[in-house]
Chains A and B, each alone.
Chain A
Amino acid sequence: MISAEQIREHVLHARPDAGLELISNLCPSCQDSLLVAAEDAVEVARLLRDDPELRLDYCSNVTGVDWPERPVRTPPGSAPAGQRMRAEVAARPGCFEVVYHLFSMSLKHGPVVLRMRTENRSDRVRLPSLTPIWHSAEFQEREVFDLYGIRFDGHPDLRRLLMWEEFEGHPMRKDYLPPAEDDVREPFAAARNRMVQ
């Protein structure tokens, strides 16, 4: 089993200038992941697939994550004795993230978790499509586009997958509000009442 750290070193050995960051996971699952810069993503993905030692030839899962803007508490620095310093609060800008789970069928290892982030949540929401590398990502990237509104450059057929064409908005975004319940039941109840009278 190759660790995410080893994969990162392996990739950086071949492409020293690739933007590839290790995100460690401190949960019991310890599933570390690799955050790849959008501009290097296709190159890195091709390397992960074709490198004889990695051969990550199967993309099993693609999903999106919505990171709204939120305050991050940084622990207080060294405070002089007897004086309590307040935690510093900085706003972390929001973004969308796509997560790919990769396996190697030929070398029987995985999953390797690959992530990409958009610049923000409003106007810069384009990411490169990895469908040209892993064809199995095609429908799942369409789903991520449908539900999160991330635009994939280079996708062969970027249309909504689950919602209908006329639908507006992206329902898995955290700020999406579904139509209110009253709107549905009110006219129905009125019709029922008319019926009873």
Chain B
Amino acid sequence: MGRMNCSMDQELQNELSNRGVHVTSLEWIYNWGRSNSIWPMQFGLACCAIEMIATTMARYDLARFGAEVYRPSPRQADLMIVAGTVTKKMAPLVVRLYNQMAEPKYVIAMGACAISGGPFRDGYNVLKGIDLYIPVDVYIPGCPPRPEALLDGIMKLQKKIREQKLLGPDRPRHADREASCDYPVPDYGPNDLIPTCNAYT
């Protein structure tokens, strides 16, 4: 049980473990639970969403990672998979949905469109990356990314969650009372969204 990150002597820990007593830190068990039950929000924006749906189905079986429970309400979701083209008309709604999710929350930008606008980057109507407005944890390139790539992205996110600290100066936003999680929803302007990006930290 070496991966159980706690300050106890390793040999003693192994010994206890052999007798059916598991000793670990609160942080480890908390992150272990969170990382194995990432509930994504049920929404898709374009073709990438079809690949996301395929990932949840029997062949690729996202349930193996505890992330198959797609929630139709942002209040119950831990993960927003931005799967597809974010048009400027849709962007404020995506930001609003993100704001409605409860902490701790994570974002995966799936596909070239969600990362940068992709093939539509030079268009007048497509947002040049959802990270202009909300923070993204995992970027998955591809057009569309294969289901395996999404699985890999989820595993990367699980790794990230497991490594998050509950205390200390580098703890994540959700563990920091002072940290702001205010992401302003942009307005529709005469030829673009106002502002054109959020200056988040």
Residues of chain A touching chain B, judged by Cβ–Cβ distance below 8 Å, are 162-169, 171, 176, 178-179, 181, 183-185, 187-188, 190-191, 194-195
7 more contacts with CB within 8 A, not counting A183-B196, A195-B201, are A163-B89, A169-B191, A184-B132, A187-B199, A188-B199, A191-B199, A194-B201
Q: In the complex the two chains form, is A179's CB within 8 Å of B191's CB? A: yes
Q: In the complex the two chains form, is A183's CB within 8 Å of B192's CB? A: yes
Query: A73 vs B42: C-alpha distance in the bound complex, in angstroms?
Result: 57
Q: In the complex the two chains form, is A166's CB within 8 Å of B189's CB? A: yes
Q: Shortest beta-carbon distance, A93 to chain B, in Å?
A: 26
Instruction: Kindly supply a per-residue 1/0 record for chain B positions 169-201, scoring 1 wherever the CB is within 8 Å of any chain A CB and 0 otherwise.
Output: 000000000000000000011111001111111
Cβ-closest chain A residue relative to B192: A179
Contacts of B197 in A (CB 8 A): 184, 187-188, 191
The 7 closest A-B pairs by CB, nearest first: A191-B199, A178-B124, A168-B190, A164-B188, A188-B197, A171-B124, A179-B192
Q: In the complex the two chains form, is B199's CB within 8 Å of A178's CB? A: no
Cβ-closest chain A residue relative to B189: A166
Q: In the complex the two chains form, is A162's CB within 8 Å of B89's CB? A: yes
Q: In the complex the two chains form, is B190's CB within 8 Å of A167's CB? A: yes
Q: Shortest beta-carbon distance, B35 to chain A, in Å?
A: 26
Cross-interface CB contact of B191 among A165, A167, A187, A195, cutoff 8 Å = A167
Main secondary structure of the interface of A (DSSP, over half): loop
Q: Shortest beta-carbon distance, B52 to chain A, in Å?
A: 24
Cβ-closest chain A residue relative to B128: A184
Query: A23 vs B40: C-alpha distance in the bound complex, in angstroms?
Result: 55
Asked if B125 is at the interface (CB within 8 A of a chain A CB), the reply is yes
Most buried by A among B125, B197, B198, B201: B197
Q: Known contacts A164-B89, A171-B125, A178-B124; is A194 also within 8 Å of B199 by CB? A: yes
Query: A10 vs B15: C-alpha distance in the bound complex, in angstroms?
Result: 97
Query: A33 vs B188: C-alpha distance in the bound complex, in angstroms?
Result: 40
Asked if B168 is at the interface (CB within 8 A of a chain A CB), the reply is no
Most buried by A among B124, B189, B198, B200: B124
Cβ contacts A to B, 26 pairs, < 8 Å:
A162-B125, A164-B188, A165-B188, A166-B188, A166-B190, A167-B188, A167-B190, A168-B191, A178-B122, A178-B123, A179-B124, A179-B196, A184-B128, A184-B192, A184-B197, A187-B195, A187-B196, A187-B199, A188-B132, A188-B196, A190-B199, A191-B197, A191-B199, A191-B201, A194-B201, A195-B201
Contacts of A183 in B (CB 8 A): 192, 196
Query: A191 vs B132: C-alpha distance in the bound complex, in angstroms?
Result: 10
Instruction: Kindly supply a per-residue 1/0 record for chain B positions 155-174, scoring 1 wherever the CB is within 8 Å of any chain A CB and 0 otherwise.
Output: 00000000000000000000
Contacts of A168 in B (CB 8 A): 190-191
Q: In the complex the two chains form, is B196's CB within 8 Å of A176's CB? A: no
Name B37-53 residues within 8 Å CB distance of A: none
Query: A168 vs B197: C-alpha distance in the bound complex, in angstroms?
Result: 20
Query: A190 vs B198: C-alpha distance in the bound complex, in angstroms?
Result: 11
Cβ-closest chain B residue relative to A178: B124
Q: Shortest beta-carbon distance, A20 to chain B, in Å?
A: 36
Q: Shortest beta-carbon distance, B137 to chain A, in Å?
A: 16
Query: A194 vs B197: C-alpha distance in the bound complex, in angstroms?
Result: 14
